[in-house]
Chains A and B, each alone.
Chain A
């Protein structure tokens, strides 16, 4: 089997006495959509922050494309090809949609110690940004302030910004969070089109979406991976049913 793109080995994160990530090991293979599911408080968002270097890890190793990135600062990880979206929408509210994506593009064009040429007339930034906005159906809203976009549009902008650097691994933290059924369906359709072209670690609560999109699924409970496998295996796994799916079905 080929080397995984991302290999997490024995990762730990503690907050005081609480263990958010508990000796977690996980692989993400090139080209797959790997879904991470688990009940609230399972430590999914913490893991994303650790992978991006926004939270330091207490133990363990993160290997990306054969290089140990455990101690790298965030910007170096982005440079290596990681990108994330946020569960709670985090866009630059007083910038236009186009500016938001253009900044994401800019982050991948070397340092920004360029003090003279106006960035808003720089086609090296604007053109690729527009292409991505079009892909997400936000082309007509390019000049709208992010704060004035609808919630669903802001969620799409989240994804657009994560995609802008042409990342080799995309960490999507609940892209469907808070969306209505129509918007969710559109987002699923969009991610479907990325399938096979991009490597994605997808965190999502919407089980229909997860089973529709994922090549493999890892179930996280209290910061620990209790199972990894193809959707059918996960569905059949009794431990998972007990710990997670059962609870979900009991709710419904």
Chain B
């Protein structure tokens, strides 16, 4: 399958990075997000709570967050959208886990079925997603791949998806409810 994506689309994010067009306010914002995350990770991974180790952690996390904070978010999301995300993501994860368990059981049934080749029907489906932000598309693509029976083959920044499905039943669920829930989670509905 040829990659017909226009190059300017694919390299848009990198171009933003190279030209350094990140507004100072957004820099501070992404620093405020990256720094606590890294510090929490530092504390958990080091497991020492004395002043020496905590000071080391604060210094190194501040340095890393200052120099490469905008690497994590080439185009930082809107603060209000991020707030919605933090609120709604914990609701989305249990539903995703439930879907993963259901789909895993289906795949387990297929694997051990004696006449498995008659049941499966691998094919690729194409559809266009209405999701807009890159983070939402990433979450959607990874959710598709996590639920067994479907693997995201290709996903463009415009929302064109190609998904490999193991049988007809797995393919019918897409994009459907999962896309609605991802859109709701990222405040895009």
Are chains A and B native binding partners rather than an unrelated pairing? no
